[in-house]
Structures are given as C-alpha cells and as structure tokens.
Amino acid sequence: MDESTGARVVPMRLQKFLARAGVASRRGSENLMTAGRVTVNGHVVTELGSKVDPRVDEVAVDGRAVRLADGPVTLMLHKPVGYVTTMSDPQGRPTVADLVPTDRHPGLFPVGRLDADTTGLLLFSTDGELGNGLLHPKRHVTKRYLACVEGRPAERELARLRRGIDLDDGPTRPADVRLLEGVAARRAERLLDMPPAAPPRSSREYAAVCEGRAAARSIVRVALCEGRKRQVKRMLAAVGHPVVALHRDSFGPLGLGGLPRGEWRELSAEEVAALHAAALGRD
C-alpha cells in the first residue's frame, strides 16, 4: 500500500512507473529506456517489458533516483531569440533544452514550439497527457502574441484577420487582432527584440513617413486558438504586413508576468490545475 495515496502498489512495467513518477510520457519513458539511460538496482534496463516493484527496486534515470511520489513537473520558460524548440539538434544549434533543468527532470519536453527568432512563453512538462491536451485542435486553447510588423495595418486588413483568412493550408479560425498604440505599444516594444528599421525604399515612402502619413513599423496583438506552423507570421504577411519580430506573452490561462528572458520557473499547483482545465476545454 502507498501510504501517501492509499493506492495498492504492485509490480508494474518500468515505462509505466517512469510515466507515473512524472519523468516523461509513456512513449518518452520507452525512449529513455532504449537509450540506456534507465537503471534498476544499478543495472541498465532496456527491455520494454521489464517490471519493477516500487516498494523495493531502486530506479534511476541518468543516475538520478526516481520515486512515484515525485509526480509530474510543468514549468514555463521565457524563450530568448536564437534557440530552436527541440531537445537536441543534429546541426548543433542552441536548443531550448540548454535553458531548462533537464538534469533534474530528464523527461521534460516542450509543449508546442516557437521559431528560433520568436521570443516569449514556452511551456515544458513531463506530463504527456497534459501536453497533448493543450495542443489538441479540439481544445481551442488560446495563445496571444505581440508582433512588430512592417507598415501600419488598416482597419479593413485587421477585419479580414478577425473573420478568418485563407492560407495555403486552408482558412484560419477568427482571431482577436488589435493594433496597439501609445503606452500599450511602448510596453510591447520592450518585450520584442526588434532589429533596426529598414530605410525607406523610395522618395515617396520617405516623404510619407516624414509627414506622418505612414508608419515604418507598428505593433499588433494577435490572439488565436490554433497552432499551425508559423501561423501568425503567415497571417500578417497575407494582409501585406510582414512580421519583423514576434513574442508570445500568454498560453491559455498563463502569462509570463515578470519572468526575465532566458529564465524558467516551475508552475504552482494552481497554475497546473488551470492548464489541466484548459486542456479539457474548460478555459
């Protein structure tokens, strides 16, 4: 009997044990085993049918002891520019795995992805069920972005995005799109890694900028409940305003708050519960 939960503990498959302990999803646990990273009582175990008795067997991943009481781990990272969203990269590029505690939690995986040149909130978890639920297209979990774009979108262009727009992989769902100005725009600019503005391409464009009739760049906030590849960038390019810099400031019920760029923090029990509710379609 497990005194902490009241549940009867019996020998179980090793990959199930690892998943229940929050090391990784069932599939991820199998990958850890076949990679030779899991030991039982000091011996490497790679056979997927192997069983362990949590009451007496000592299980470790990469030399770190694993117990059922550990439970899953979920955290958020404020991703900086220049890191690809993968846990390993054959090209040797910097990855988000370099920024999170994989030594303590070897089964961490990113929930979704951000492009290398996109900053902002990236979730990680060892809970495969939670990650799958948050990304499931039927859950419609909202993600909000701040985009610095070329030019100044007209209201008719923003209205097209709000209704839904045709892309090469089909029409998008309606999105909440707003042009930010004043204090809101200045706050957004501080979150965006924006390269210097390109010079005007013609004398007419230069005159328009100088006279205030055109904006070299502007800030747009986009909230959407889809997760297609490069979707925000493709949507804004489709209405004639390519993205210069992009930042995600919220995922479902969670925002970055004051988390510094490049830093991570583990989520509280209340925050994890809110994510579970969103993953069930109750956000």
Kindly state the DSSP code that residue 96 receives in the 8-state scheme: G
Helix (H) or strand (E) holding 251: strand 243-251
Q: Chain centroid to CA 214: how far?
A: 34
> Is 115 designated active site?
yes
User: What residues does 264 pair with on adjacent strands?
Assistant: 77
Could you give the count of Cα atoms lying within 13 Å of 206 in the half-sphere of its Cβ? 5
In angstroms, rounded to a whole number, what is the distance separating the alpha carbons of residues 161 and 174? 7
Cβ atoms 248, 118 nearer than 8 A: yes
Q: Which of 62, 70, 115, 193 is catalytic?
A: 115
Cβ atoms 281, 140 nearer than 8 A: yes
**Residue owning tokens 């990959």:** 15
Instruction: State whether residue 231 is helix, strand or coil.
Output: helix
Could you give the count of Cα atoms lying within 13 Å of 89 in the half-sphere of its Cβ? 14
The candidate with the shortest Cα–Cα distance to 261, out of 122, 149, 104, is: 122
Q: Which two structure tokens, joined as six digits, stand for 23? A: 């090391």
List active site positions. 115
